[in-house]
């Protein structure tokens, strides 16, 4: 397999939001890396697989101080955290950032060479792929506010996919960043630290938000109607799966 030249692609989506992605990792593997520009500092939500240097390839990441935040600490979201001085995550997953292993980041179970269309560097081997330790320099939790000077993002703690999953909500714009709590694809609630009861509570909270645009951890962005449809599908599926065999419908059990 050839070695990629440019590893990262990026696109300005308006609202001071830039989507960055790893173009040669397949769409199920790579996450959406979100840069939100503020007056005083920028916010980077997630940092990708960590297979190439974000800062070396994307000079605009060094124009202002950057808060590098993890929506949660699975490998596809934290690989570039070590490149940034300010690193935030939820305390429930602190250990993964400070002492990542192939197991606790989920690399061992999820990464295969067929997921790449080009190599990040010569000699890349999936069996040796690891995340560089990058201990959090601070923690975020429910109700905290990330202040970019002229923009303010409220932290919502929304466990279910993982115990430390968070979303970021900008009330002034209606922008919602959801990480892997919800995206327009198959949701993962079967991981070793997933919790379906927590996930259902998190979905109810998301549904109550007057979100205009949702920028998720994977796949395309969507609007409030799609957000509601995705939530309702998930919740209906869980009701069916816990119904007794004789129940005729989700409503009857
Ligand atoms: Zn995840
Ligand atoms: Zn993910």
Task: Give me the pLDDT at residue 12, please.
Answer: 98
The C-alpha angle 29, 51, 98, rounded to 5 degrees, equals 90
52 alpha carbon to ligand 1 midpoint, in Å? 20
Whether residue 68 contacts residue 47, with contact meaning beta carbons closer than 8 Å, is answered with: yes
> 10 Å Cβ neighbour count for 46?
26
Picking from 210, 209, 229, 212, the residue whose alpha carbon sits closest to that of residue 221 is 212
71 alpha carbon to ligand 2 midpoint, in Å? 9
Query: Span 211-238, mean pLDDT?
Result: 97
Task: Give me the pLDDT at residue 252, please.
Answer: 44
The answer to whether residue 67 scores a pLDDT higher than 50 is yes
32 alpha carbon to ligand 2 midpoint, in Å? 8
73 alpha carbon to ligand 1 midpoint, in Å? 7
The answer to whether residue 250 scores a pLDDT higher than 50 is no
Task: Give me the pLDDT at residue 244, please.
Answer: 52
Average pLDDT, the chain: 95
Task: Give me the pLDDT at residue 241, please.
Answer: 76
φ and ψ at 21, to 5 degrees? -145, 160
Share of the chain above pLDDT 70, in %: 95
Residue range 149-183, pLDDT digits in tens: 999 999 999 999 999 999 999 999 999 999 999 99
Task: Give me the pLDDT at residue 242, please.
Answer: 63
Q: Is 206 or 238 the better-scoring residue by pLDDT?
A: 206
Whether residue 9 contacts residue 23, with contact meaning beta carbons closer than 8 Å, is answered with: yes
Domains of the chain, start order: 8-252 (3.60.15.10)
In order of 11, 19, 233, the CA distances from 14 in angstroms are 9, 10, 29
The answer to whether residue 246 scores a pLDDT higher than 70 is no
The answer to whether residue 248 scores a pLDDT higher than 90 is no
The answer to whether residue 243 scores a pLDDT higher than 60 is no
72 alpha carbon to ligand 1 midpoint, in Å? 7
Neighbours of ion ligand 2 (CB under 5 A): 31, 76, 180, 217
Task: Give me the pLDDT at residue 245, please.
Answer: 52
What is the distance between the alpha carbons of residues 246 and 250, in angstroms, rounded to a whole number?
Answer: 11
- The residues near 239 (Cβ < 8 Å, ≥ 6 apart) are 250, 253
Which ligand ends up closest to the CA of 162? 1
Which ligand ends up closest to the CA of 46? 2
pTM (predicted TM-score) = 0.94
Query: Span 55-59, mean pLDDT?
Result: 97
Task: Give me the pLDDT at residue 239, please.
Answer: 83
Which ligand ends up closest to the CA of 73? 1
144 alpha carbon to ligand 1 midpoint, in Å? 22
Picking from 125, 131, 112, the residue whose alpha carbon sits closest to that of residue 28 is 112
């Amino acid at each position: 397999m050839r070695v990629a030249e440019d590893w990262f692609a990026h696109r300005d989506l308006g609202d001071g939001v830039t989507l960055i992605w790893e173009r040669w990792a397949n769409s199920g593997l790579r996450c959406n890396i979100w840069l939100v520009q503020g007056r005083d500092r920028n916010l980077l939500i997630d940092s990708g697989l960590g297979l190439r240097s974000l800062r070396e390839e994307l000079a605009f990441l060094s124009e202002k101080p950057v808060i590098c935040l993890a929506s949660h600490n699975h490998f596809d979201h934290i690989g570039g955290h070590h490149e940034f001085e300010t690193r935030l995550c939820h305390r429930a997953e602190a250990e993964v950032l400070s002492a990542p292993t192939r197991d606790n980041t989920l690399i061992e179970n999820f990464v295969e060479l067929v997921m790449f269309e080009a190599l990040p560097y010569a000699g890349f081997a999936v069996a040796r792929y690891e995340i560089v330790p990058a201990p959090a320099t601070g923690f975020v939790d429910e109700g905290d506010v990330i202040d970019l000077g002229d923009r303010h993002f409220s932290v919502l703690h929304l466990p279910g996919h993982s115990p430390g999953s968070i979303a970021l909500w900008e009330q002034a714009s209606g922008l919602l960043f959801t990480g892997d709590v919800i995206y327009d694809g198959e949701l993962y609630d079967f991981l070793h630290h997933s919790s379906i009861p927590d996930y259902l509570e998190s979905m109810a909270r998301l549904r109550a938000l007057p979100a205009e645009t949702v920028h998720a951890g994977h796949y395309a962005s969507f609007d409030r109607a799609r957000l509601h449809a995705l939530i309702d599908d998930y919740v209906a599926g869980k009701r069916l799966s816990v119904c007794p065999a004789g129940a005729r419908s989700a409503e009857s059990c």
